[in-house]
Structure 1
Amino acid sequence: MVDRDYGFPFQPYSIQNEFMNSLYDTLSKGKIGIFESPTGTGKSLSIICGSLRWLKDHDDNGMESNNTKKSDTKEDEDDEPDWVKAFQVTNKAEQQREILRKEKRNDLRKRIQRARQLEESRASFTFGESDPSLRWKKRQKMDNAKKEKKKKDDDDEFLLDEYVSDDENNDKEPTSSNDSNSNLSKEVRELLAKLEPTKSALSNAQEQDDEEDEDNFDQLKIYYTSRTHSQLSQFIHEVHKTMYSPDTWTIPLGSRKNTCIHKDVKKLKSVQRMNEACLELQKKTSTSATKCPYLPSKTERSQWNTFRDHALAKVRDIEDLVQVGEQMGICPYYGSRYALRPAQLVVLPYQHLLHASTRDSLGISLKNSVVIIDEAHNLIETITTIHTITMTLQQTRMAFSQLVQYVQRYKNRLHVKNMAYIRQILSIVKALIKLLEPGDDNDSKNKKDCVMGVNEFVHLLGIDHINMFKIEKYLKASHLARKLNGFIDKEELKKQSSISDQQQKNSSTTMPTLTIIESFLLTLTNPDKDGRIVINYSENNQPQVKYMLLNPAEVFQPIVDDAKSIILAGGTMEPITDFVNILLHHVAPSQIDRLSCGHIIPPSNMAVMSIDTGPTGKSFLFRYDNRQDEKLMDEVGQAIVNLCNIIPDGVVCFFSSFTYLDQLYKRWSQYPQNGTTILSRLEKKKKVFKEPRESNQVENTLRDYAMHIDQSGGALLLCVVNGKMSEGINFSDQLGRGVIMIGLPFANRSSVELQEKIKYASEMNPGQSDAGNEYYENLCMRGVNQSIGRAIRHRNDYATIILLDQRYSQPRIRNKLPGWIGNHVEHCDKFGMAMGNTVRFFKQFR
C-alpha cells in the first residue's frame, strides 16, 4: 500500500489509514466502493481527507497533463490525410479551451482570495448594497418607463400559454433567408454541420467561451450527500478541522425551505407552496412591486459574481450561506446554484441527488465527478420511497373539482390544444375516481385490494387509448399544476376575505392536489417491469392507489453512468448482497471494491453474546406465531430484570414493533410473579422509559432518560427497530452500557407490497434460488445492525450487546452482522453462562 500523507488532523489509526488508502485507490480506478466503518472510527474525517487529497492530486495534475499533450515533431505533417489534420485542429481548439479555462480559474482564485481577505480584515463585515429595496427602486423606474398598452385581467397570470405539441413542432426548424441549405431536410443539415470546415475551430472555441460567463467553468467535483440536514452540517464542521478547508471551494445545496430569505415566501408551510410562490415572483409579467427583490437581473451579473466569490471564500454550511445572502440581499437558493459550477466540493441532501428532475432543476451535472453517499445503508429503501407515489380518493375528487373550476373560468380563452389536453387529464382523473369509489353494495364486494403492473392498470382504467408520454410532456411544459394551484390559492383568498376571522381559522388549507396527481400520472410512463400499482380500499377507510417502485437500479443507473466513481459509505453496511444484487446488478463485480473496517476499541471493551434460553430454560424463539405465548413474555421479562441488575447505567432494549412492545409492557405491568410484577421489579433497579409513537415527543423522552441516568445512575429505554431511536441517536458511554435485541424483526410477509418486492428480487437473480428470502432476511438484519450499532461510539467507550434469540447462533444470520460485531459473538446456550460473562465484563471497568 502506498504511504501517502492525507493531512489527517490527528495521528490516524491503522484502520483510518486503511480506509483512506482504499478510498483513494477506488477513486483513482474509477470504481464503485462499498465502505463500512463503525461510528466512532473517524469515518467522516477519513472520507474528507482521502477524497480531497485525491481531488487535489488529480484536479491540478489532470489539467496540466491535458494542456501539455502536444506533438513533439512536425515530420510528415504535410503528408497526413485531411481528416487527420481536421482532428489535429480540433484538438488544438480543445487545448486552447483548456488554457482559457485555466486562466479563468486563476482569475477566480484571486477574486475568492480577495473576498476571503476582505471578510477576515473586517470584524463586522457587510457587503455594501445589502438593502434589496435599492435594486427594487431601480427596477420600478424601468418598469414605469414601459407603459402597458392594455390592462390585463387580474387572473391572466394563471392562464396557460399557447401549447404546440411535439409532433406538430418537429419539422419547424428556424431558418435564415441567407442559408443556402434551408431547403434541405433536418437530418441533412445536421450532417453538413458536422462536416463544416474546421479551419475556424479555434476561433469558434474562443467565441463560445466569450459567450459563457467569464468566470464560469466546469470543475472536477466531489458530491457528498447524507440523510439529514444535521449530518450535512456535521460534515461541514469536520471539513473545517482539516488542512483542505482554506483551499477547497465548497458549496452546500438546500431546498427553498432552508435557503429562502423572502419573508412572505418563508411563511408558507409546505416546500411545494414555497416553490410555486417563488416561481410566481419570477414571472415576466410581474411588476417591480411583485418581483422578488433578492434576485438581481441579468444586467446585474456582478452581484451574482460577488455572492459566488464570498460563498466560496470559506467552507460554509447552509446557515452560513443564508447569512451571506441576507447580508448581501441576494437569494442564497439561486446564489448557491450560481456558485455550483466552479465549486470543488458540493454538499447536498439525499433527495437532491437521487431524484433526476431535482438534479436537473439545480443544474447538477455528475459527468466525470465523484459521488460519495454517506449513511448509505438505507439507500435502496430511500430511492424506492422517493419514487413511490400515493394518491387518495379524496385527492382525486379535489383535483377533478379544481380542474373543472379552472376550465369554467378560462374555457373561452384557452387555446384549443390546452383544452384538448385538459379534457384528457379530466377523463383520467374521472376514471381514477370511479376506480376508487366504493360504489353500491354489489360493486363494492368485487373491489378488493390488489396489485398489478402499469400496463394492466392503464387498461383497467380504460385510458390505454391516451398517449401518456404526450400527457407527461404537456404537464411538464405547460406547468398546469402550478397555474392551477395559484388560481385555487387566489380563489381561497377571495373566499376568506368575505368570512370572519374565526371562520378563517377553522378553514383548512387546500392541498396542491394536482401536483400529487401529476406525480402519479408521470409514473404511468415507467417501464412495466420496474414498478407495481397497489390499490387499497381498506386503508383507514380511505381508498388509495399507490405506485410502488421495485427497481431502484433504474433510478440509480444514470448516476452510475455519469459519475467517475461512487462511494457508498456507512457505519453498518451489512448485509451488502442487496447492493450488489439489486442496486448494482448491472455493474461487473470487478468494478466494485469492498472494505469493512474493524473498530478502534480494544476487543476487551465489547462483549457480544447470543443467548438461546431464558432463566428457566425456555427457548428464546420470537417467531410471529410465538408472540402470544405468555410464558415467553414472562421469560424475556425475567431475563431483562436479571441483566439490568448487573449492567450499570443505561440499557437500551429493542423490540420488533410497537405492537409487540406494547403487548409485553402490558403483560409485565399486570401479571405478578411471586407477588410483584416484572415492571415493578425493573423499576426497583432502573427507571423505565418507552419510545413514544409521536415524533415530537422523542426528544423529551431522550432528555429525561439521560437526566435520570446522570442523577440516579440507572435507566432502561424500551425502543423499536426502525423507529426514531434506532438510527442517528448516540447512546455513548453511560447512556448505553448495554444494548439488548429481542428477536429478529422480520417484516409482515403477508403484506402484498413486500411480497412483490420479494418476488422481484427473485426475478432479478434467476441464478440464485434463494434470492427472495435473501432480500427478506437482509431487510430484517439491516434493522438489527442499525439498532445494535447505537452502542460503542468512540475509542474509550465500552458496552455489551446481547442478542436474545436462538437464531442468532445460525451462521447464515451471524454472517449478516457487521464484521466488527459478528466476528466477536459468543454463543451462550444457557442463560447462566451469559450472566457470568456479563459480570466478568463489567468487573474490569470498576
Structure 2
Amino acid sequence: MAVPGAPDMSFPAFPFEPYPIQLQFMRAVYSGIQKGGVTIVESPTGTGKTLSLICSALQWLIDQHEDLASPADGAVNVTGSAGEEPDWMSNFETRKEEERRKRKEARRRTLKQRLAQSSSLKKNHGKSSVMTFGVGKESREGNPSLKAREWLPSKAVPGIVDDDDFIVDDYFSDQEAAAKEGKRKLDLADSSSSSGDDMEENSDDEEPLKVYFCSRTHSQLSQFVRELQRTMFSSSLRSVTLGSRKNLCINPAVAALGSSARINDKCLELQKKHKSGSGQSKIQTVPQKGHKKVTTKGGCPMMNKQKLQKRYVSEAVEAGALDIEDLLSLGSKLGTCPYYGSRRMVPISDLVVLPYQSVLHAGTREALGISLKNCVVVIDEAHNLVDTVSDVHSCKVTADQMKQVHSQLTEYLDKFRRRLAASNRRYIEMLLVLVGSFLRLLSVTKPENEVSSGPRMMTINDFLFSLNIDNLNLFKIGRYMKESNIVHKVSSYGETVVNQVITETTTSNRSSMAGFHVLAEFVMALTNADADGRVLLTPKTLKSQVPDSPEDGALKFIMLNAAKHFAEVLDQARAVVLAGGTLQPIQELKQRLLPHLAEDRFHVFSCGHIVPPESILPLAIAKGPGNRLFNFTYNTRSSPPMIEELGRLMNNVCTIVPEGIVLFFPSFEYESLVFNSWQSAGTLSAIEVKKTVFREPRDAGAVEEVLQQYRDCIAESKEGTKKTGALLMCVVGGKMSEGINFSDGMGRCVVMVGLPYPSPTDPELVERMKYIDLLVAADHNGACGGRQSKEYYENLCMKAVNQSIGRAIRHIKDYAAILLVDARYASDTSGPTSKLPGWILQRLVKVTGSFGEVHRQLHQFFRYNRQLQSAE
C-alpha cells in the first residue's frame, strides 16, 4: 500500500538503478518524514531495505538544509511591532537572525560542494571516495592499530590507598538543593566562560537538523555504515556511530575491568578528577604476567590533551562514515579516547548511528547529550519494538546482589559514620532498611517437606504494601543512588577490604557495582503507576527442592506499558520511521505502542520481494517419508517415532538439496534431544555421508567461528561428490536466527521444525497477555473474551518463524527452498500460516499427501535454478 501524496522524485545518491519497489519504498519514507508522525515501512529481507532507508531519509535531510538556509516567503518579523521593544534589542535580534541565516547558507553551500564532489568521484570511479580506518575485514587484518586491545591485561584490581577517596560527596535534599540553586547557576555561568571551545561546538545555532538511525545489534549498525559508505552521503554529510565505553575504551587500566558497570563507573570517576583538577589519588592495577603495571594519576591519560580530542573529531569528520572498529582504531592511533571523541561529534553531525537502547531510554539519551527535538528517528528491525521498549524499562535484582550491597553498606557506614555528612548517613540508613525489607520478603520459604510456593506476580502497590516501608520516600532514595557517587565509593571500599584478605578480585565482588546499579533501577521502577508494571517475586529456593538453583531468590520489575515511554520519543521527534521485513500485524503494533496517535499522523507502506516467483519454493509439509503426520506440539514432539520421522525427512532433503541447509528448532533443549537421538539411532551418520553437520553454539562468542567453518565447508564442496555441502542445526531466537545472512550457497534450503510458541506458563508472558486483554477491554467496553491475547501469543510465534526463514533470500539472483515441517502449516489459512509474509504466502505449496510430492517439487526446483544459473 503506497502512501498517498508521495513525491514523484528520484534519489541520485542510490549507488545503482533502483528497482521499482525500492523507488516506491524511498518515496514512501520521504513522504512520511515530510508529513511527520509515524511511518511504518515493510520490505522483505534482501530487497535493499537499509540502502533505501539511507537514501530516502538523508535526501530529505539535504533538501531540508536547503530550505532552512533560504528565507521563507512572508517570514514573520521576529522583532515584533514598533514600540514593543527598545531599538537596541530589536537591532540585536535582527543581527542575530541575520547571522543565523548566513551560517545556514554557508552550510548549504558546503553541502552542495560535498555532494558535487561525491557525485563527480562516483562517476569517475564508480563509488564515492571515503577515507576510512580499516573498513572491512581485510583492511582491519592489515591494520596494526585495530589490534590495540591485544596488549590489554585481562585482569585489573583497583586499590585506592587513601581513606579520603572513599568518602561520598555531600548530597543535598530537595530543600537544601533549592537553597544552593542560586550559587550553582553562578558557578555554571563562570565555568561557561572558560569553556568557549565546547560552547561553540555545542551551540544550538550551530547544531544541524539530524537523523538518528537505530538498530538492535552492533553487527547491524556496522552493516548500516557499510551501506552508507556506498553512497555520496558518506562524504557529504557528517556522521558518527555511538558505542559503549566497553566497546570504545582504550585505557588499559579501565578496559581491563571487564564488566560494563565497572568500566562506566571508573570512567566517570576519572572524568570528575579531570574537572576538579585533583591529582592526589592513585589507581594501581595488578598486572597480568607479561604486562607492565599501569598507574593512572589525576584522571584518565586518554583525556589529558584536549587538543587530541579536537584532532580526533577533525580527522573523523574528514574520514567520512566510520563504524565502531574504525573509531576505536582512530583513537588508538592518536592516543585519545574514542568514546568521548565520538560523543563530541554528536552536536555537529547530521546523522547519528546508535543502538536501540540509546534512543528508547530517557536516562541514556540524557547521558549521551541526545536531543530528539524536531529530528527524525529511524528504527530498523522494529518487529519486536514493543517488547524491546518494555525490556529496556524492566530490571532484575537478585538476592545475592542485594546481600552484597547490604553487607558493603553496613561496613561502609560503620567505618565512616563520623566522617559522613548527616544527609549521607540518613540516606545510607534508609537504603539499609529498604534492602533489608527486600531480603526479608525473599527469605520466606516453606519447610523441606512442603512444596515451595514458587514465583509470585504482584502489582506495584501490593508489593510495596508487603514491605511495610511507609516512612520511606522511594523517589528520593532512587534519585540519591543515581545522582550521588555512593555506588562507586561503597564498591571501591568493599573491593579494598576484600583485597586485603585475598590477592585477586572474586567474581561476586566484580559484580558489586552492577548490583548497585540494578538495585537503583529497581527502586526507581517502583515509582511507576500501579497499572504500568508488575513485580515478579522469585522467593528463596530450598536446595533440597531445586539442587541446581543458580540464584537465592530475585525481584524483577516488568514494564507492561511500552506506549508510555515511547510517547517521549514521539513527542520530541519530528517524525519516526519504523522499518522491518515484516511488522504485521500493524494494528497490534499501533494499539500497544501508539494508542493515541491520530490517524492522519500514521502512514503505512508495504512491498513485495524483488526475486521472481520461480526463485522461492515454500512447502508446508504435513507428513514424512514414513507417512507419519508431523505434529511438533510440546506434548508429542519428544516422542521417538516423531524424532525418527524427522530424521528420515532430513536424510532425504540432504540428498536432493545442494550446498547449505539451515535447520531451525524451537529451543536448544529440543535441538540437543534430536541430535542425541539421531546419533544413537545412526541417522546422523547417514546424513553426514552427504552433509557435514554443524550446530549453533550456546556461547555467543563461538558463533562466528562455527559460521566460518560452515561457510568454508560449503565453498569446498563440489557437485558430483558424495558430500555436497553442510547442514547447520540452529535455534529459533538464537544468534543465527536474526542478523545472519545465509545468502546463496549458505542457505539453499531453510527448514523450520514445528511452531516455536513460547511457554504458556511463563509468568511474564501470562501477565503481558492479561495486560493486552485489559487494554482491549477498555477500548471495547469490556468485550474482548481474551481473543487479543491469544492473537498476541500466536504473533510471537510467527514473528520468530518469519525472522528465521527470512535469512535465506538475500538478493535478486538468490534462490532457496523453505520447508515448514508441521501439519499445522498445511491447515486452513485462518491459522498461523496466514501470518507468513505475503511474498511467501502467495507461493506456498501445501503438501498433505505422500512425501513423494515433496521430493518431486524439490528436485524440479533445484534442477531449474541450477540450469538457469549455469546459463547466466
Cα distance, 1:465–1:153 mapped onto 2, change above 3 Å: same
Q: What whole-Å deviation, never above 9, does each CA across 1:707-756 have from its counterpart, x for those lacking one? A: 33333323222221111221122212222111111111101101111100
Q: What is the DSSP-based 3-state SS (H/G/I as helix, E as strand, rest coil) of the residue aligned with 1:725?
A: helix
Paired residue secondary structure (2:835): coil
Task: Indicate how the Cα distance of structure 1 residues 448 and 320 shifts in structure 2: closer, same or farther if over 3 A, else same.
Answer: closer
Match of 1:291 in 2: 299
Q: Secondary structure at the match of 2:41?
A: strand
CA 1:504 to 1:400, structure 2 compared with 1: closer, same or farther past 3 Å? closer
Q: Which residue does 2:169 correspond to in 1?
A: 161
> Structure 1 594/440 Cα, relative in aligned 2: closer, same or farther at 3 Å?
closer
| Residue of structure 1 aligned with 2:772, choices 757, 761, 767 | 761
How far off is 1:293 after superposition? 2.9
SS at 2:697's partner residue?
A: coil
Pairing of 1:53-92 with structure 2 (within 5 A): 53-65=59-71, 69=75, 82=84, 92=94
Deviations 1:527-571 (A, max 9, x none): 222211111135545311111122222222211111111111123
Moved more, 336-345 or 585-594: 585-594
Q: Secondary structure at the match of 1:624?
A: coil
1:565 to 567, 572, 575: 575
Q: Matches of 2:243 and 2:179 in 1, distance apart? A: 40
Q: CA deviation at 1:67?
A: 9.4
- One-letter code of the match for 2:863? K
In the other structure, the counterpart of 2:490 is 484
SS in 1 for 2:556: strand
Residues 183-582 of structure 1: matches in 2 within 5 Å? 212-213=199-200, 216=203, 217-282=206-271, 283=273, 284=276, 286-287=278-279, 289-295=297-303, 304-315=309-320, 316-439=322-445, 441=447, 447-496=453-502, 499=503, 509=510, 511-512=512-513, 513-537=515-539, 538=541, 540=550, 542-582=552-592
Aligned counterpart, 1:744: 755
Q: What secondary structure is seen at the aligned counterpart in 2 of 1:174?
A: helix
1:842 maps to 862
Matches within 5 A, 1:74-153: 82=84, 92=94, 95-96=97-98, 98-99=100-101, 101-102=103-104
Q: Which amino acid aligns with 2:771?
A: Y
Q: Shift in Å at residue 99 of structure 1? A: 2.9
Task: Provide the residue aligned with 2:285 in structure 1.
Answer: none
Structure 2 residue runs without a partner (length 5+): 1-6, 119-128, 135-159, 185-194, 281-296, 542-548, 718-722, 868-872
| Within-5 A mapping of 1:17-56 | 17-56=23-62
Aligned identity (percent) is 39
AA partner of residue 789 (structure 1): G
Q: Which residue number corresponds to residue 136 of structure 1? A: none
In the alignment, what sits opposite 1:815? Answer: 834
Contact 1:733–1:797, Cα closer than 8 Å, also in 2:
yes
Task: Report the counterpart of residue 805 of structure 2 in structure 1.
Answer: 788
Q: 1:63 to 1:293 in 2, by over 3 A?
A: same
Partner of 1:799: 816
Classify 1:799/1:6 alpha carbon distance in 2 versus 1 (closer, same or farther; 3 Å): same
* Cα distance in 2, alignment partners of residues 423 and 741 from structure 1: 56
Whether contact under 8 Å (1:66, 1:95) holds in the other structure is no
User: For 1:646 and 1:656, how far apart are their aligned partners in 2?
Assistant: 24
Task: State the 1:327 CA deviation.
Answer: 4.0
Query: Are residue 777 (structure 1) and residue 805 (structure 2) matched?
Result: no
User: d(CA) in 1 for partners of 2:462 and 2:836?
Assistant: 40
Decide whether aligned partners of structure 1 residues 28 and 541 sit closer, same or farther in structure 2, where only a CA change above 3 A counts: closer
Q: Deviations over 1:283-326 (max 9, x none)?
A: 226218322233258xx6x6654443332223222233333334
Aligned residue number for residue 3 of structure 1: 9
Could you tell me the TM-score, scaled by structure 1's length? 0.83
Structure 1 residues 235 and 214, CA gap change in structure 2 (3 angstroms): closer
Alpha-carbon distance in structure 2 between the residues aligned to 1:169 and 1:541 = 40
Contact 1:39 1:793 (8 Å CA) reproduced: yes
Change (3 A) 1:688 1:433: same
Q: CA deviation at 1:36?
A: 2.0
Match of 1:741, SS state, is strand
TM superposition shift of 1:454 = 1.3
Corresponding pairs, count: 768
Q: Is residue 2:726 matched to residue 1:715?
A: yes
1:824 is paired with a residue of what secondary structure? coil
In structure 2, relative to structure 1, the CA distance for the partners of 1:248 and 1:789 (3 Å cut) is same
For residues 447 and 18 of structure 1, do their structure 2 counterparts lie closer, same or farther at Cα, with a shift above 3 Å needed? same
Mapped to 2, the partners of 1:825 and 1:123 lie a distance apart of 46
Distance 1:50 1:56 in 2: 10
- Asked if the contact 1:472–1:521 (Cα under 8 Å) also holds between the matched residues in 2, the reply is yes
Supply the distance in 2 between the matched residues of 1:840 and 1:123 (Cα, whole angstroms).
Answer: 48
Deviation at 1:649, TM superposition (A): 2.0
**Partner deviation per Cα, 1:173-195 (whole Å, 9 max, x = no partner):** 6399xxxxxxxxxxxxxxxxxxx
Shift of 1:281: 1.5
User: Which residue of structure 2 aligns with residue 205 of structure 1?
Assistant: none
Offset, 1:82: 4.7
* Contact kept? 1:560, 1:566, Cα under 8 Å: yes
Letter in 2 for 1:511: S
CA drift at 1:383: 2.5
Q: 1:732 aligns with which of 729, 738, 743?
A: 743
Q: 2:476 & 2:812 partners in 1: Cα distance?
A: 59
Tell me which amino acid in the other structure corresponds to 1:685. K
Cα 1:805–1:589, aligned 2, differ >3 Å: closer, same or farther?
farther
In 1, distance between residues paired with 2:677 and 2:256?
47
- Within 2, Cα distance between the matches of 1:222 and 1:464? 46
Shift of 1:787: 0.8
1:174 aligns with 2:182: yes
CA shift in 2, pair 1:323/1:431, >3 Å: same
Residue segments in structure 1 that go unaligned for 5+ positions in a row: 125-151, 177-207, 672-676
**Contact preservation (8 Å) 1:157, 1:285:** no
Q: Which residue number corresponds to residue 188 of structure 1?
A: none
Q: State the Cα distance separating 1:519 from its structure 2 match.
A: 1.9
Alignment partner, residue 832 of structure 1: 852
Distance, in Å, in 1 between the alignment partners of 2:789 and 2:202 is: 52
Query: How much has 1:84 moved relative to structure 2?
Result: 14
Q: Do the aligned partners of 2:11 and 2:56 also contact (CA within 8 Å) in 1? A: no
- Do the aligned residues in 1 keep the contact of 2:621 with 2:819 (CA within 8 Å)? yes
Which whole-Å CA distance do the structure 2 matches of 1:170 and 1:704 have between them?
63
Change (3 A) 1:85 1:614: farther
Deviates more, 1:312-321 or 1:753-762: 312-321
Compute the TM-score of the two structures, normalised by the length of structure 2: 0.81
In structure 1, C-alpha distance between the alignment counterparts of 2:202 and 2:511, rounded to whole Å = 44
* Structure 1 residues 505 and 165: alpha-carbon distance in aligned structure 2, compared to 1, 3 A threshold: closer
CA distance change for structure 1 residues 120 and 612 in 2, over 3 Å: closer, same or farther?
closer
* 1:631 shift after superposition: 2.9
Higher Rg: 1
Deviations 1:428-479 (A, max 9, x none): 1111111122557289867532001111111111123311111122222222
Looking at structure 2, the residues matched to 123 and 794 of structure 1 have their Cα atoms a distance apart, in angstroms, of: 28
Pair 1:612–1:87, CA change in 2 (3 A): farther
Pick from 692, 696, 717 the counterpart of residue 697 of structure 2: 692
Deviates more, 1:586-595 or 1:359-368: 586-595
